[in-house]
């Protein structure tokens, strides 16, 4: 191959830009959140929310399309437990929208569904982890990714692939 051709070939190859630590962490965090969400939805299969209907009966939504994984304690303010599977609940798109549209109603539904004890337990878990918790390191995120990947496999064999 002539030198010209070699250069031409080299020039066509995508340039590998070295990722910054920040970018690696951002990508790993997104990947872990994707796995976390898939684990939650694979486990729950349908909308878990319970609410009171207009006759005063407690009903569960059980919608099984347009499902999303909801953080019981939000990931922005409770990052230490953002990948904890106990901190997730499957909710349909219709009701997840209430989180912004009517936060008080949404919060009541979460408490009705999960119970205040569960939320307290998550807060305690967060407090324990938070001691010394700053931000996840790349090693932390790689470990979490491996854990969630294995967990997803297990959930898929127990409940089926979504
Ligand atoms: Zn629902």
- Tell me how far the alpha carbon of residue 85 lies from the centroid of ligand 1, in angstroms: 19
C-alpha 50 to ligand 1 mean position (Å): 8
* Residue 81: predicted pLDDT: 94
> What average pLDDT does the segment 39-46 reach?
97
Query: How many angstroms does the Cα of residue 12 sit away from the middle of ligand 1?
Result: 49
**pLDDT grade for 13, boundaries at 50, 70 and 90:** low
Q: CA nearest 69: which of 101, 51, 98, 44?
A: 44
**pLDDT band at residue 121 using 50, 70 and 90 as cut-offs:** very high
16 against 79, higher pLDDT:
79
Distance 51 CA to ligand 1 centre (A): 10
pLDDT category of residue 33 using cuts at 50, 70 and 90: very high
The answer to whether residue 27 scores a pLDDT higher than 60 is yes
Q: What is the Å distance from ligand 1's center to 66 Cα?
A: 9
| CA pair distance 108, 22, nearest whole angstrom | 37
* Domain positions in the chain: 21-159
Record the tokens describing residue 99, joined without a space.
């989180």
């Amino acid at each position: 191959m002539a030198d010209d051709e070699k250069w031409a070939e080299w020039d066509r190859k995508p340039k590998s830009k070295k990722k910054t630590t920040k970018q690696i962490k951002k990508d790993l965090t997104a990947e872990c959140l994707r796995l976390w969400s898939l684990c939650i939805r694979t486990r729950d299969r349908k909308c878990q929310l319970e609410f009171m209907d207009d006759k005063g009966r407690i009903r569960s939504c059980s919608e099984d399309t347009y499902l999303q994984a909801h953080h019981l304690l939000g990931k922005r303010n409770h990052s230490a437990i953002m990948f904890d599977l106990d901190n997730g609940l499957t909710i349909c798109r219709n009701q997840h929208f209430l989180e912004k549209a009517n936060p008080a109603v949404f919060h009541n539904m979460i408490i009705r569904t999960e119970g205040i004890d569960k939320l307290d337990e998550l807060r305690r878990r967060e407090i324990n982890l938070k001691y010394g918790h700053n931000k996840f390191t790349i090693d932390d995120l790689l470990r979490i990714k491996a854990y969630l990947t294995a967990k997803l496999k297990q959930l898929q064999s127990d409940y089926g692939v979504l």
